[in-house]
Amino acid sequence: MANFPPDFLKNPNTSKPQTPELLLGAEGIYKTYRSGHQTVNALSDINLKLSSNEILGIFGPEGSGKSTLIHILEGICSADKGRTQIYGDIPSAGISSHRVKSRLGVTIQNTTLPPLLKVNELLEFKCALHSSDLSRQKLLSSLQITECLHTQYCDLSESERQRVILAMTLLSNPKLLFLDEPSRAHQEEIRQVLWNTLEQHKTQSGGAILLATNNAQEAAQLCDKVLLLDKGRAIGAGNPQTLIATHCPQTLLQFRLHASVIIPKLQEIPHLQWHKNDAETLLVQVQCEDVDNTIYSIMHTAVSHNVRVSGIKVIPKTLDDVHEKLRQ
What is the CATH number for 219?
3.40.50.300
Identify whether residues 93 and 205 lie together within a single domain: yes
Determine if the pTM surpasses 0.75. Answer: yes
Single-letter code of the amino acid located at 88: G
Flag residues of the chain having pLDDT under 50: 1, 9, 93-94
Q: Report if residue 157 sits inside a domain.
A: no
Going across the sheet that includes 251-257, the strands are 272-276, 282-288, 251-257, 309-315
Structure confidence at residue 133 (pLDDT): 53
The last residue of one of the domains, among 217, 246, 275, is 246
Which of 186, 217, 246 is the last residue in one of the domains? Answer: 246
HEC assignment per residue over the chain: CCCCCCCCCCCCCCCCCCCCCEEEEEEEEEEEEEECCEEEEEEEEEEEEEECCEEEEEECCCCCCHHHHHHHHHCCCCCCEEEEEECCECCCCCCCCHHHHCCEEEECCCCCCCCCCEHHHHHHHHHHHCCCCCCHHHHHHHCCCHHHCCCEHHHCCHHHHHHHHHHHHHCCCCCEEEEECCCCCCCHHHHHHHHHHHHHHHHHHCCEEEEEECCHHHHHHHCCEEEEEECCEEEEEECHHHHHHHHCCCEEEEEEECCCCCCHHHHHCCCEEEEECCCCCEEEEEEECCHHHHHHHHHHHHHHCCCCEEEEEEECCCHHHHHHHHCC
Distance CA 183, CA 220 (A): 14
One domain, residues 265 and 322: yes
Are 224 and 310 members of one domain?
Answer: no
- 241 and 216 in a common domain: yes
Residue 83 covered by a domain: yes
Same domain, 97 and 194: yes
Domain that holds residue 268: 248-326
**Is 187 part of any domain?**
yes
pLDDT of residue 108: 65
Of 246, 267, 296, which marks where a domain is finished? 246
User: 313 and 224 in one domain?
Assistant: no
Residue 3 lies in a domain: no
pLDDT value of residue 105: 84
In a domain, 121, yes or no: no
* 185 in the same domain as 278: no
CATH number where 261 lies: 3.30.70
Whether residue 318 sits in one domain with residue 283:
yes
Say if residue 97 is in the same domain as residue 178. Answer: yes
Do residue 179 and residue 230 come from a single domain?
A: yes
In a domain, 2, yes or no: no
Q: Are residues 179 and 321 in the same domain?
A: no
For residue 298, being part of any structural domain is answered with yes
Residues 46 and 32 occupy one common structural domain: yes
Task: State the total domains in the chain.
Answer: 2
124 within some domain: no
